[in-house]
Amino acid sequence: MSTEPTGEKLQKLLAQAGLGSRREMEKVIAEGRVKVNDKTAKLGDRASGRDKIKVDGKIIKAITAEKYAGRVLIYNKPEGEICSRNDPEGRRTVFDRLPKIPNGRWISVGRLDYNTSGLLIFTTDGELANALMHPSTVIEREYMVRVLGNVDEPMLQRLHEGVLLDDGVARFTDIVDHGGEGANRWFYVVIMEGRNREVRRLWESQEVQVNRLKRVRYGDVFLPSKLKQGQWTEMPGKEVDALYKMAGLEVLKPAPINPKDRQSFERQERKNKPVHRGRRTPNK
């Protein structure tokens, strides 16, 4: 009798377990870091929830035969945090404040610069994160920005029509003047891509300086007004469903949560002191 594993492609299962995108998992498999039933896996292998799967020697218990929705956090990033998991310079990262979860990890949907604050979305579903970031998924990103310098209507028109940057033409799809005093003025701006430092570079191309930048919206997800900097809150079920729809993915039911894991998460919630938004539980 054959003992070859059957089921879903291995990189898909690992992505569903929240270990990263499918492309990232393909690299992990190609590097020989994954074993299925104690046999080193290779690209093209399949597996199911019945198989024993290890990554870097650690059993991945979140692999299931059934696909569940990922959990999602909204985080209000302060200035002075980086979006990498580790920093050689010892700076604080956005992952330092996030709650610990069993058998998975939080994956950031996009990044914000060190000196940029505001909305970051995290999920345990690598497939969801990858879909939300993919260029084919056209999603608006809205920022509140304070600029120093002389801003006139011709400049705003240029920024709206498009400016040639080092990596191609970029533009704001919407610009709303929010007032200000003296040489400082506030604007709400919207971009459709997530290029590196795109908002800052657009303004700097017009010889004005950005001295405050905060992301306030990602698609249909807004930064909650009561969520303080450095705090997170878990997105409730209906909003998670809407996020999957926005990413063009199938809406899935939530995974059952072990009571001990739920208690651990609730303790971390109390310590974090976020706005309480709740979380759906599976239908019985």
The contacts of residue 280 (CB under 8 Å, 6+ apart) are 236, 237, 238, 240, 254
**Tens of pLDDT along 5-58?**
567 888 888 877 767 778 889 999 999 999 999 999 999 898 877 788 999 998
Q: Assign domain 72-135+221-272 to its CATH architecture.
A: 2-Layer Sandwich (3.30)
In this predicted structure, the answer to whether residue 198 has a pLDDT above a threshold of 70 is yes
In this predicted structure, the answer to whether residue 282 has a pLDDT above a threshold of 70 is no
Domain with CATH 3.10.290.10 in the chain: 8-59
Domain with CATH 3.30.2350.10 in the chain: 72-135+221-272, 141-218
Global pTM reads 0.78
Q: What is the distance between the alpha carbons of residues 190 and 173, in angstroms, rounded to a whole number?
A: 6
Pick from 194, 272, 266: nearest CA to 227: 272
Q: Assign domain 8-59 to its CATH architecture.
A: Roll (3.10)
Q: Which pLDDT value is given to residue 243?
A: 96
Q: What is the distance between the alpha carbons of residues 71 and 250, in angstroms, rounded to a whole number?
A: 15
In this predicted structure, the answer to whether residue 202 has a pLDDT above a threshold of 60 is yes
In this predicted structure, the answer to whether residue 277 has a pLDDT above a threshold of 70 is no
Does the annotation mark 113 as catalytic?
Answer: yes
Lowest mean pLDDT across 124-128, 214-218, 247-251: 124-128
Do residues 185 and 152 make contact, with C-beta atoms less than 8 angstroms apart?
no
Q: pLDDT: is 60 or 258 the higher one?
A: 60
CATH 3.30.2350.10 is held by the domain 141-218:
yes
Work out the mean pLDDT of the chain and round it to a whole number. 87
Three-state SS string across the chain, please?
CCCCCCCEEHHHHHHHCCCCCHHHHHHHHHCCCEEECCEECCCCCEECCCCCEEECCEECCCCCCCCCECCEEEEEECCCCECCCCCCCCCCECCCCCCCCCCCCCEEECCCCCCCEEEEEEECCHHHHHHHHCCCCCCCEEEEEEEECCCCHHHHHHHHHCEEECCEEECCCEEEECCCCCCEEEEEEEECCCCCCHHHHHHHCCCCEEEEEEEEEECCEECCCCCCCCCEEECCHHHHHHHHHHCCCCCCCECCCCHHHHHHHHHHHHHHCCCCCCCCCCCC
Work out the average pLDDT over 121-150. 91
Work out the average pLDDT over 56-68. 73
| 52's tokens | 């024993």
In this predicted structure, the answer to whether residue 191 has a pLDDT above a threshold of 50 is yes
Do residues 178 and 188 make contact, with C-beta atoms less than 8 angstroms apart?
yes
Annotated active-site residue in 51, 56, 113, 152:
113
In this predicted structure, the answer to whether residue 221 has a pLDDT above a threshold of 80 is yes
**pLDDT above 70 coverage of the chain, percent:** 91
**Tens of pLDDT along 68-98?**
788 999 999 999 999 988 888 889 999 999 9
Q: Which pLDDT value is given to residue 74?
A: 97
In this predicted structure, the answer to whether residue 183 has a pLDDT above a threshold of 90 is no
Pick from 163, 181, 200: nearest CA to 189: 200
Do residues 232 and 99 make contact, with C-beta atoms less than 8 angstroms apart?
yes
Q: What is the distance between the alpha carbons of residues 202 and 171, in angstroms, rounded to a whole number?
A: 7
Work out the average pLDDT over 105-114. 92
